[in-house]
Structure 1
């Protein structure tokens, strides 16, 4: 068991950045943490950290060992969870990657209840605008929308969301409401600042028997994060195109007005819960999935 204690001390030190913080968080002394890690390095015959005055930096060997150590610790936690029949005994660390706007508007509202339901579980929510396969680096779950690359991962559809062209009532009162998609070319529009299909503004041509037209939108400004686009629209600065799961409440409250709905493309963009291709889904992933799907069912954004 001493080997496992050494491994735990190493992971704690990595997560907290130094021995003192790791010790405080886990009810030990800094010297106890230091001794455990020294024994680990002696046993492995490698240096895992470059030790600074106040911080620790992983060596190349330390970075490689961290992946294996986390896998072992999570496996131990999963084994304990599988042996228990009660949900509140689900334990371990759950690492989630999703879009910033989805995390803010569709996960954070119920996350406190989820953590209270499973007090033995810790959650690490990482955000980014697009899907990146980080499962080999310890990721448990990803939540992303749109087309996904072919892979051996499991993608479970948990919902779908339309893209909505919209603006605030104040902007429309000042500049007028576009009647045709081409009218957008004479308006102030804002877009994402990175290469993405989300930057393509497409509509059904009302006079072309359903043909799709793509507008060459020249944005007045671009942003790397969807909430900044939302704030620009809410401020009355101009027109944006954002996901329904992001701005559904703004539309219900009348803060944003959908535009050109009769020209909208049919269908919606799928949203997927993605996890590794494993025969037995870990308890921590299973309870997170079930919690998420129930909340999305109870609180539709459309």
Structure 2
């Protein structure tokens, strides 16, 4: 239909082709295919110009209505970002949701009154897109899959404790000193429980024996803030505590130089919904404006 409209406008297959970066034979074949499907001749083909047949003029009037409808549909689609609606479903870590999403979520929702957000949290990444999720945000190594993983930041894991605990028990000076301290980590099998430190150019893993374990990072944060002992948590989780001095980093001279990437995962690259695009843009701007690293 487009080829027919172009040829009608330019009165020539060659001119229509030049205007639309096609070959004259391609335009001619498209029009011929259309004529064969309709079983009518749309053009009288002269040596230099084309003229519409009676059937061609009737088809042109109908095609104009279709093209106007297409243009209207395109204009509506272009307006979607300003009037997002529906539910954006996000799967992420509880601590990331609490400390990096929730603080600015009301402002984001205020921009789009017809949009709602549903957040489901879990400590580790599991592909949930078959359940209707739009986005996942997780850290660490992701399993191989056909999903799109977009790196949006990185997490440095900080060993830290409250000033009250360090005043009582003293500051660990080398990684091995952790074995003499009250330490806490996650209750499930996770790389987050591997307390690795750079020492003389090599990574040393300290086999910490936790006094207690918790299945939520915020519980580890709470026990540390209460002066209970030493924890190891991501800076996106405890960045504000470190900046305020509520938690003090320890063993900074031995901190690992290999941060964990944080990925935003979505099903595929093509035809992202406007609500997904708007959220990704807002999240990346938030991270740029309020970095969590100290």
* 1:92 paired to 2:96: no
Give the equivalent residue in structure 2 for 1:16.
none
Structure-2 separation of matches of 1:282 and 1:274: 14
8 Å contact kept, 1:82–1:283:
no
Give the equivalent residue in structure 2 for 1:166.
160
Give the equivalent residue in structure 2 for 1:41.
none
1:134 is displaced (CA, Å) by 0.4
Give CA-to-partner distance per residue, 1:251-279, whole Å, 9 cap, x none. Answer: 00000000001111113111110000141
* 1:249 paired to 2:240: yes
Give CA-to-partner distance per residue, 1:98-131, whole Å, 9 cap, x none. Answer: 0000000000000001111011111100001000
Structure 1 residue matching 2:79: 3-state secondary structure:
coil
Give CA-to-partner distance per residue, 1:221-266, whole Å, 9 cap, x none. Answer: 0000000000000000000000000000000000000000111111
* Aligned residue runs from structure 1 range 106-121, under 5 A: 106-121=100-115
8 Å contact kept, 2:160–2:232:
yes
Question: Which structure 2 residue ranges, 5 or more long, are not aligned?
Answer: 1-72
Cα distance change of structure 1 residues 274 and 158 upon mapping to structure 2, 3 Å threshold: same
Structure 2 residue matching 1:85: 3-state secondary structure:
helix
Give CA-to-partner distance per residue, 1:202-232, whole Å, 9 cap, x none. Answer: 1112xxx311111111000000000000000
Give the equivalent residue in structure 1 for 2:192.
198
Which of these residues, 258, 261, 275, is aligned with residue 270 of structure 1?
Answer: 261
Which of these residues, 133, 140, 146, is aligned with residue 140 of structure 2?
Answer: 146
8 Å contact kept, 2:80–2:274:
no
Structure-2 separation of matches of 1:226 and 1:82: 44
Question: Which structure 1 residue ranges, 5 or more long, are not aligned?
Answer: 1-78
Structure-1 separation of matches of 2:282 and 2:186: 30
Structure-2 separation of matches of 1:299 and 1:192: 27
Which of these residues, 201, 206, 209, is aligned with residue 218 of structure 1?
Answer: 209
Normalising by the residue count of structure 1, what TM-score does the alignment of the two structures yield?
Answer: 0.71
Structure-2 separation of matches of 1:172 and 1:223: 21
1:80 is displaced (CA, Å) by 10
**How many residues were matched structurally?**
221
Structure-2 separation of matches of 1:134 and 1:158: 20
Which of these residues, 255, 261, 279, is aligned with residue 288 of structure 1?
Answer: 279
Cα distance change of structure 1 residues 80 and 108 upon mapping to structure 2, 3 Å threshold: farther
8 Å contact kept, 1:202–1:214:
yes
Normalising by the residue count of structure 2, what TM-score does the alignment of the two structures yield?
Answer: 0.73
Structure 2 residue matching 1:204: 3-state secondary structure:
strand
8 Å contact kept, 1:88–1:120:
no
1:82 is displaced (CA, Å) by 6.0
8 Å contact kept, 2:81–2:275:
no
Please report the RMSD computed on the Cα atoms of aligned residues, expressed in angstroms: 1.5
Structure-2 separation of matches of 1:203 and 1:83: 51
Q: Which structure would you say has the larger Rg? A: 2
